């Protein structure tokens, strides 16, 4: 088990973070579209909504409803806003995310989604 898996397991024990799960429709969406499409969507959403130093509507930019699996994963994993990103993942607010940080976030999100789909 690597660090991402350990942190996913730890976050799943949180009352708030552990309350997020993909519903049947979202799991079917992932299986239908494939992880390649989900990865592409994750990069796009993170680049637009989380990467900027001061994202528009920070703290409210990530929907909590079952709109897209990446949004649900963001809440479950602590990537919903820059405050959670700093608190949980120690990635500071107030500066643009690096390419490596974006890759870390997307990798983490994909791992969470893969675990959810396999449940």
Q: What local confidence, expressed as pLDDT, does residue 101 receive?
A: 97
Q: Please indicate, yes or no, if residue 12 is contained in any of the structural domains.
A: no
Q: What average pLDDT does the segment 68-77 reach?
A: 96
Q: Please indicate, yes or no, if residue 113 is contained in any of the structural domains.
A: yes
What is the C-alpha separation between 31 and 25, in angstroms, rounded?
Answer: 10
Domain count, the chain: 1
Contact 7, 110 (CB under 8 A): no
Q: Please indicate, yes or no, if residue 11 is contained in any of the structural domains.
A: no
What is the C-alpha separation between 16 and 33, in angstroms, rounded?
Answer: 28
**Residue 27, token pair as written in the block:** 């799991």
pLDDT at 116 over 90: yes
Q: Bigger pLDDT: 43 or 2?
A: 43
- Supply the Cα-derived Rg of the chain in whole angstroms: 13
Q: What local confidence, expressed as pLDDT, does residue 1 receive?
A: 56
Contact 29, 116 (CB under 8 A): no
Q: Please indicate, yes or no, if residue 2 is contained in any of the structural domains.
A: no
pTM for this structure? 0.92
Q: Please indicate, yes or no, if residue 9 is contained in any of the structural domains.
A: no
Q: Please indicate, yes or no, if residue 7 is contained in any of the structural domains.
A: no
Q: Please indicate, yes or no, if residue 13 is contained in any of the structural domains.
A: no
pLDDT at 106 over 70: yes
Residue 38 belongs to what domain range? 21-117
pLDDT digits (tens, 9 = 90+) for 13-69: 999 999 999 999 999 999 999 999 999 999 999 999 999 998 887 777 777 777 899
Contact 84, 16 (CB under 8 A): no
Q: How many CB atoms sit inside 10 A of residue 28's CB?
A: 12
Q: Which 8-state DSSP code applies to residue 16?
A: T
């Amino acid at each position: 088990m690597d660090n991402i898996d350990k942190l996913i397991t730890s976050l799943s024990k949180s009352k708030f973070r552990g309350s997020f799960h993909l519903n049947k429709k979202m799991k079917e969406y992932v299986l239908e579209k494939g992880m390649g499409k989900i990865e592409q969507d994750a990069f796009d959403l993170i680049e637009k909504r989380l990467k900027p130093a001061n994202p528009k509507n920070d703290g409210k930019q990530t929907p909590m409803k079952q709109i897209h699996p990446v949004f649900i994963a963001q809440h479950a994993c602590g990537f919903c806003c820059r405050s959670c990103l700093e608190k949980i993942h120690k990635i500071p607010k107030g500066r643009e995310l690096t390419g490596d940080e974006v890759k870390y976030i997307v990798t983490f999100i994909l791992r969470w989604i893969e675990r959810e789909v396999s449940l």
